[in-house]
Structure 1
Amino acid sequence: MSGRRLVAAAVLAALAGCAGAPPYQQPVVDVPPAWKIEEPFRVARPDDAAVRGAWWKLFGDPRLDALQEQALAASPTLAAATARLDQSRSTVDVANAGLMPQVVASGRVARQRISANRPLTNYNAPNFSTVQDDFTLNFTAAWEFDLFGRLRSTQAAARASSEQSAADLQNVRLALGADLAAAYFNLRELDIELDVLAQSIALQRRSFDLAKARYDLGATSGLDVAQQQSLLDATLVQVDLLRRQRGQFQNAIATLTGQPAPLFAIAPELGPRTAPAIPVGLPSEILQRRPDVASAERAVAAANAQIGIARAAYYPNIALLPTLGYDSRHFEALFNTPSLLWSFGVSASQVLFDGGRADATVAFAQAGYQATVANYRRTVLTAMQEVQDALDGSASLDRALAQARLAEQSAQRVLQLATDRYQGGAATYLEVITAQQSLLNSQRLAAQLLGQRLLVTVALVKAVGGEW
C-alpha cells in the first residue's frame, strides 16, 4: 500500500512539474548605444538629485505650473485611469483569495411532510407518512489544491495586469501633462503673433497717414493710399483668424484641466521664452523610464501567465471538501451530540474528452503571448523613433530660429531704408509696402519657430518618459 502511495505521489509531482506557465523572460530588443546628436543641440545630463515628476517646471512658467497642478487634481481622464488601477488591484485581491480555503455557513428551518408512497428502501419495512420539523446548521469548507499552477498563474496574471494598469496611469499623467503644455505653448505662440500683428497694424496705420498726407499735398497719386489700405485690411483679417485659433487652444486647456470652456479664460502674456535643456540619457534607459514601454512589458508577463492558466486544463482539479454540521427535528436538541454530522473527503475531476477545447485554449494563449511580445518591440522602436525625431527637430529648429532672428533684424533695416527713400522721393511706395510685408512675415516666422521649438521640447520630454 505504501508503495502505491509513493507511485501516486511521484506521478502527481511529475505532472505538477509539467504544468504551469513557462518561465518568464523579458523580451530582448536591440537598443543602440547612443543617440544621433546634431549641432547646436546639447543634451543635458540626468540629475539623480533633481525633483522627479514635475518636468514642466523646467520651463519656468508659473501659469503653466498652476494649470498642470489643476489638471492633475481635476482631470476626468486621470480620474478614470485611477479608477481602472483600483479595479486591477481588486482583481489581485480576488486572485489571492483563490489560494485560500473558502468556508460557507448554511442553515435551514422547515416543517415538512414525508410521503408514504415514496420508494421503499427495504421490502420488509413499509413507509409511513410523517410530519415533523427539521433544523439544520452546516459549515462547509472548500480548498483547491493548486498542484498544477492554475491559481498561481491566475495570481501572476492579475498582478502583472495590475502593474500594467499602474504604468498606464503614469502614461495618462504624462500624456495629460504633455498635451496641456503643447496647448499652452501654442496659445502663447499665438499671443506673440497677435502682438506682432498689433505692432504691424500700428506701423501700417502710420504709413497710411503718411501716404494720405503726401497724397493730399499732391506729392503722390492715390495708388499709394490704396496699396497701404489693402495691406492694412489684409493684416486685420489675419488678426481675426489668429484669435479664432487662440480660442480653440484656450478651450482645449479648459477641458484638460477639468473646467467648462465657457467659464475659462487665459490672459495674453508676452514674456520671454526659451526651451530648457532636457536630460535624455542613453537609449537603454528608455526601457526603464517610459510608462508605455513598462505597460507593454507587463502585458507580456500577463500573457505568459495566461498560458499557465490554459495548460492547467490538461490536469485534474483536486479539492478538499470537509463538512461539519448539526441536524435535528427538535430545536432544543440541535446542538446535542446525536445531532452532529460531518464528512471529510477529497474531490477530483478530470476532463476526458473536450473536442480539442483545451488544445485550442492553449494555442490561443500562446498566440496572445506572441502578439504582446510583438507589441512590446513595436512600442520600444516607436519610443526610440520619437526621441530621435525630437532630437533632430530640436537641432534643426535651433538653427532655423537663430536664422529667423537675423532675418527679422535685416527686414527692419530694409523697412527703415525703404521708408527713408520714399520720404526723400527716391523710391516708390511699393518698396515700402514690400518691406512692411517682409518684416511682418519675418516676425511671425520667428514667433512660429519659437513655438515649434517649445513644442518639440515638450515632445522630447514625453518621448524620454517625463520623469528623471
Structure 2
Amino acid sequence: MPSLLCLPLLAACAVGPDYVRPDMPLPAHYKEAAPGWKIADPADHAPRGAWWTVYADPELDRLVAALNANNQTLQVALANYRQARAAAQEARAGFFPTVGATASTSRKQTGGNQAVTNGHVFSLDASWEPDLWGQVRRTVEASDASTQASAASLAAAQLSAQAELVQDYLQLRVTERQRQLSADTIAAYRQSLTLTRNQFDAGLVTRADVAQALAQLKTVEAQAIDYDLSRRQLEHAIAILVGKAPADFDLPATATLPALPATPAELPSSLLERRPDIAAAERAVAAANATIGVRQSAYFPALTLSASGGFSAAGFASWFNTPARVWSLGAGLAETLFDAGARSARVEQARAAYDASAAQYRQTVLSGLQEVEDNLAALTLLAEEALRQQEAVAAAREAERLALNEYRAGTADFTTVATAQASRRQSEITALQLEGRRYSASVLLIKALGGGWNGNLAPEATTP
C-alpha cells in the first residue's frame, strides 16, 4: 500500500532538463535606421494580416488570395503540420492504458477413445505503464513543440510564397514600363531615321549616318523582344505560385505602377515575436530539449500493470457460472542491466541535437537582423539614388533635344544625336531598374519584419 501511495509522487517526476529559451541578446537599435525613426514594442507595429495591400493594387490582392488557396508548396506545409499534430495526439495516448478483447472457440479430441470437447473463451485485457520518470510527458512535450514548429514553418512558407509572388508581380509591372519605354524610344528612333534619310536625299549627310540611325533602331527593337520574354517568364512564375498551369493563366497589362509604400517610421525592437521562421527554430530547440529527457528515462526501470478477465467454458450457457469465470492481475518491472553504452550514446546524441538546434536558432535570429539592416539600407540609399537618377534623366532629355535641334539646323552630325539619344535611353532604363530594386527592398523589409504573421502557433485557418 505505501508503494501505491508513492506512485502519484513518482508520476510528478520528469527526468531531463526543463526548457529555457536559448539566450540571444538583441541590439537596442538598428544600424541602418534613418534619423527620426523610433523603436516600437515587439508586437505593436504594422504590417499585420494582408500586408501586400500596402501596394494598393486590386489585381495583386486577387493573386495573393489565389496563392493562399491553391499554392502547392503551402499544401505540402499544411500536410506536414497535420502530420505533426497527429503525432502529438499519438504521443498523448501513452498516458492511458491499452485495452484489448480476445475471443476464441475450439473443438478438440485428446485421444482416439476420448470424447470431443468444445472450448469457448472470451476475455478483456488491459495494460498500463505508469509514466514514473516522465518519458511520456517529455515525449508529449517534444511532440507539442514540433507541432508548433510545424505551424510556424507553415506560416513561414506562406510568407515566403506571398513575398515571392509580390516581388514577381511588381517586377512584371516594371518590365511592362521598360517595354513601353522601348516602344516610345522605337517611335522616336524611327523619326530620327526618317529625318536622316531625308537629309541624305538632300545631300546633307552621308550614308553612314543613315546606317547608324538604322542600327540604333534595330538594337532597341531587339531589346524590346527581350523585355517581352522577361514579362512572359514572370507571368509563368506567377501562374505556378497561384496553382495554375501557365497555359490557363493570363495577366492583363497595365500602364501604371503600384504605389511604393513609405518606409515605416517605427520598427520593432525584437524579431522573436514577429518572424515565423524564428519561432519555428525556437520550437525546434524546445523539442530537442524534451528529447533529452526521453532518452534519459531509459536509465530507469519500466513498471507495467496488467489485468484481464473473462469467461472460459465448453459451452456458451456455462459462461455465467462461477467456475467459468477467469481473471488475473499482474505487475512487471523491467530494467536494462547492460547495453554496452547504447543509452549513454543516445543521450549524447540528443544533447548534440539540442546544441545544433540552439545554434541554428541563434543563426536564424542573426540572419533576420541582417535582412532588416540590408533592406533598411537599400530603401534609404535607393531612394536617394532615385532622386539623383531622375535629375540625370531630365538632363539627358534636354541634351537629346538640343542635339536634335542642332542636327536639324545642320550644325551637328548624327553621331552627336545618337550619343545623346543613347544616353537618354540608358538614363530612363536605369531609373526604372532603380524603381524595381526599391520595390524588391520594400517587399523584403516587410518579410524580414515578419510580414502578416500574427504569432499564432495553432492556425485555425489551416486546421482541417
- TM class by shorter chain equals over 0.9
1:107 aligned residue (83, 103, 107):
103
1:411 aligned residue (390, 393, 396):
396
Displacement of 1:12: 10
What does residue 354 of structure 1 align with? 339
What does residue 123 of structure 1 align with? none
- Whether 1:202 aligns to 2:198 is no
Are the equivalent residues in 2 in contact too, given 1:43–1:277 (CA < 8 A)? no
Displacement of 1:366: 0.7
- Whether 1:368 aligns to 2:364 is no
2:76 aligned residue (70, 77, 80):
80
Q: What is the CA–CA distance in structure 2 between the aligned matches of 1:314 and 1:456, rounded to whole Å?
A: 54
Are the equivalent residues in 2 in contact too, given 1:394–1:453 (CA < 8 A)? yes
- Whether 1:96 aligns to 2:96 is no
Are the equivalent residues in 2 in contact too, given 1:180–1:253 (CA < 8 A)? yes
Q: What is the CA–CA distance in structure 2 between the aligned matches of 1:328 and 1:62, rounded to whole Å?
A: 77
Distance 1:11 1:165, change over 3 A: closer
Structure 1 residues 173-182 or 50-59, which shifts more? 50-59
Q: What is the CA–CA distance in structure 2 between the aligned matches of 1:275 and 1:102, rounded to whole Å?
A: 61
2:376 aligned residue (387, 391, 394):
391
Q: Which residues of 2 match residues 227-376 of structure 1 at below 5 A?
A: 227-279=212-264, 282=267, 284-376=269-361
Are the equivalent residues in 1 in contact too, given 2:371–2:448 (CA < 8 A)? yes
Q: Which residues of 2 match residues 118-133 of structure 1 at below 5 A?
A: 131-133=116-118
- Whether 1:57 aligns to 2:42 is no
Secondary structure of 2:317 counterpart: helix
1:437 aligned residue (402, 422, 425):
422
Q: What is the CA–CA distance in structure 2 between the aligned matches of 1:283 and 1:403, rounded to whole Å?
A: 30
Distance 1:193 1:432, change over 3 A: same
Structure 1: 5+ residue stretches without partners: 117-127
Deviations 1:383-425 (A, max 9, x none): 1011110111111111111111111111111111101111111
AA at the equivalent of 1:317? A
Q: What is the CA–CA distance in structure 2 between the aligned matches of 1:30 and 1:45, rounded to whole Å?
A: 17
- Whether 1:453 aligns to 2:448 is no
Identity across the alignment (%): 36
- Whether 1:70 aligns to 2:105 is no
Are the equivalent residues in 2 in contact too, given 1:85–1:166 (CA < 8 A)? yes
Distance 1:15 1:146, change over 3 A: closer
Distance 1:90 1:280, change over 3 A: farther
Distance 1:45 1:221, change over 3 A: farther
1:35 aligned residue (16, 21, 30):
30
C-alpha RMSD of the superposition: 2.4
- Runs of 4+ aligned residues of structure 1 deviating over 4 Å after TM superposition are 8-17, 38-51, 278-284
Structure 1-normalised TM-score?
0.91
Q: What is the CA–CA distance in structure 2 between the aligned matches of 1:393 and 1:421, rounded to whole Å?
A: 41
What does residue 463 of structure 1 align with? 448
Deviations 1:448-467 (A, max 9, x none): 11011001111111111102
Q: What is the CA–CA distance in structure 2 between the aligned matches of 1:446 and 1:39, rounded to whole Å?
A: 23
Are the equivalent residues in 2 in contact too, given 1:140–1:324 (CA < 8 A)? yes
AA at the equivalent of 2:438? R
Q: What is the CA–CA distance in structure 2 between the aligned matches of 1:432 and 1:192, rounded to whole Å?
A: 24
Q: What is the CA–CA distance in structure 2 between the aligned matches of 1:396 and 1:50, rounded to whole Å?
A: 23
Structure 2: 5+ residue stretches without partners: 455-464
Displacement of 1:72: 0.5
Structure 1 residues 293-302 or 45-54, which shifts more? 45-54
Q: What is the CA–CA distance in structure 2 between the aligned matches of 1:86 and 1:214, rounded to whole Å?
A: 75
Are the equivalent residues in 2 in contact too, given 1:283–1:384 (CA < 8 A)? no
Displacement of 1:38: 5.5
Q: How many residues are aligned here?
A: 452
- Whether 1:173 aligns to 2:143 is no
Displacement of 1:274: 3.7
Structure 1 residues 280-289 or 428-437, which shifts more? 280-289
Are the equivalent residues in 1 in contact too, given 2:44–2:268 (CA < 8 A)? no
Displacement of 1:275: 2.2
Displacement of 1:112: 2.2
Displacement of 1:284: 4.2
Q: What is the CA–CA distance in structure 2 between the aligned matches of 1:48 and 1:444, rounded to whole Å?
A: 39
Distance 1:39 1:351, change over 3 A: closer
Q: What is the CA–CA distance in structure 2 between the aligned matches of 1:298 and 1:113, rounded to whole Å?
A: 63
Displacement of 1:114: 3.2
What does residue 119 of structure 1 align with? none
- Whether 1:20 aligns to 2:15 is yes
